[in-house]
Amino acid sequence: MKILTTIPEVRETLNAHRAAGRTVGFVPTMGALHAGHKSLMLASVPENDITIVSIFVNPLQFAPGEDLEAYPRDLETDAALCTEAGADYIFAPSVSEMYPEPIETTVSLTGVSEPLDGQSRPTHFSGVATVVTKLFSIIGSCSAYFGEKDFQQLAIIRKMSLDLSLDVRVVGCPIHRETDGLAMSSRNIYLTPEERADSVVLNQALAKGIAAIDAGETDPAAVRDLMAAHIATADSGTLDYAEVVDARTLLTPQVLSGEVRALVAVQFGKARLIDNMGTTVAVSGSA
């Protein structure tokens, strides 16, 4: 496993592999890697000849006052996990390698980027779309693996890749959870013991919401209220949003039907946690 730090090195290395007929799998991350990230690598390794993991804490996607400085960084431990997962390369550029001068070009989307986190973190998705476009340009033709943990982000990457005809096959991977149901996240280390104990309400609220839908509830407001009420039982958390949306548009329909996704965001002290869960509402008349 080799660590690359410059853009020309990555291009030269991966172009040589592609010229030799090898396929490339790409796992973009911000590091502080955990089993959720590893599951993306484990999806890529058997499907591709070469797997490259990027580790870059992207300043563009943090708003002033968010945790850019505090975000955990530990390249040595990350490299060990990548080796264990069978990855071939890490691309760990410096900020000045990625942004040698202030950028004047950004990528932003309408539609899927607007609701949910788009409301709570108005500059976040443009930062994500810009860095991922840049990374796709650096990596070149590949399959890229993203977690459903960041469900809206995945929808944005899919739409952006389609709209801009990017030479990337976007692959979504299931959410990896702790044994009590908390979705794994690099930010979970910010939780105090009390907040960690309370944080299971995200998963529990989603499970309740999805169970209600599976039992026949088709009113999104009723499901939202049910999930919000459960999250309110955690003293240390403050609800940002609890919503049920159409899984494709991420908009709240009048009546739930087809593929739907419940999503929640809750602030616990320094950690803003997100999670989601999906189900399919049988359209009446279908089997």
Catalytic site positions: 37
Q: How many residues bind ligand AMP (CB under 6 A)?
A: 17
CA-only gyration radius of the chain, Å = 19
Q: Which stretch binds ligand AMP (CB under 6 A): 41-49, 91-99, 178-186, 239-247?
A: 178-186
For the window 31-60, what string marks contact with ligand AMP as x by the rule CB under 6 A? -----xx-xx--------------------
Burial 259-286 (b: 16+ CB within 10 A, else e): ebbbbbbbebeebbbbbbbbbebeeeee
Give yes or no for residue 183 binding ligand AMP (CB under 6 A): yes
Secondary structure E strands in the chain: 2-4, 24-29, 50-55, 89-91, 142-147, 168-173, 237-246, 258-268, 271-281
Q: How far is the CB of 57 from ligand AMP (least distance, A)?
A: 9
The answer to whether residues 77 and 213 touch, using CB atoms and an 8 Å cutoff, is: no
Q: How far is the CB of 149 from ligand AMP (least distance, A)?
A: 4
Give yes or no for residue 30 binding ligand AMP (CB under 6 A): yes
Distance CA 29, CA 146 (A): 9
Sole binder of ligand AMP in the list 78, 88, 150, 240 (CB under 6 A) = 150
Q: Which of 159, 184, 182, 175 is CA-nearest to residue 250?
A: 159
Sole binder of ligand AMP in the list 116, 129, 184, 213 (CB under 6 A) = 184
| Interface ranges with ligand AMP (CB under 6 A) | 29-30, 36-37, 39-40, 146-147, 149-150, 173, 175-176, 183-186
